[in-house]
A and B are shown apart, each in its own frame.
Chain A
């Protein structure tokens, strides 16, 4: 078991609604990344937060946004939900980029279903 926890574990939303997913990082890790994993696919990078600022972004529209708090926990917000947003959303924590040890540890994910 990693120390990365995500909430909620499952969520059902209606198209057009907004959703907030939460992540607590592993102790000692101040970098948090979010990934979207569609069924049968590998995770796709959404963005990364370090020191409360976005530190890299994948090919996702602006309606995907995030926050990182002083205690290194993080939120992923998705506005104007679309059916294709249905996926497993994964949070990964790691130590800062460039410090050598590059392992990222994942939480159990939040399964989002948009109907």
Chain B
């Protein structure tokens, strides 16, 4: 059974204070590792897909990286508008997304 664990559950940062979110995964036949952003009461917004260990992708202040067991979402110099829940999900041979419980990020001005 595929499993995804995210840490920390919640993270409070001051504006400009860089940090990283962790996603540990166990999946049979990884077809992709996904990062989504979710605002309260809304659907998840797609950020990145990573397909193989060593791959990195960047978008504005966010950078996602992938190893054989973990993925990291690095946030550089965050702003208050980056506050949201960040979800990690794996896609395996069962062809269904398995999500972690998310990291709730709060960036204080």
* Residues of chain A having any CB pair with chain B under 8 Å: 2, 4, 6, 33, 35, 40-45, 48, 55-56, 58, 88, 90, 92, 97-98, 102-109, 111
Bound Cα distance A100, B95 (Å): 12
Query: Which of A48, A105, A109 contacts B95, CB < 8 Å?
Result: A48
Bound Cα distance A33, B99 (Å): 14
Minimum-distance CB pairs A-B, first 9: A42-B99, A106-B43, A45-B96, A102-B32, A97-B95, A108-B43, A109-B43, A106-B44, A42-B101
Which of B12-20, B55-63, B65-73, B86-94 has 4 or more CB atoms under 8 Å from chain A?
B86-94
A106 to chain B, nearest CB (A): 4
Query: Which of A6, A40, A42, A55 contacts B87, CB < 8 Å?
Result: A42
Query: Which of A33, A103, A107, A111 contacts B34, CB < 8 Å?
Result: A103
Q: How many inter-chain contacts with C-beta < 8 Å in the A-B complex?
A: 65
B12 to chain A, nearest CB (A): 17
Bound Cα distance A97, B31 (Å): 10
- Asked if A48 and B49 sit within 8 Å, CB to CB, the answer is no
In the complex, what residues of A have CB within 8 A of residue B100's CB? 42
In the complex, what residues of B have CB within 8 A of residue A33's CB? 96-97
Bound Cα distance A56, B94 (Å): 8
Query: Which of A41, A58, A109 contacts B101, CB < 8 Å?
Result: A41
A16 to chain B, nearest CB (A): 26
A22 to chain B, nearest CB (A): 14
Residue of B nearest to A101 (CB): B49
Bound Cα distance A111, B43 (Å): 11
Can you list 9 A-B contacts (CB < 8 A)? A35-B97, A40-B101, A42-B6, A42-B99, A45-B97, A45-B98, A48-B95, A103-B46, A105-B46
Bound Cα distance A45, B49 (Å): 18
A72 to chain B, nearest CB (A): 17
With A56-B96, A109-B42 in contact, do A102 and B89 touch (Cβ < 8 Å)?
A: no
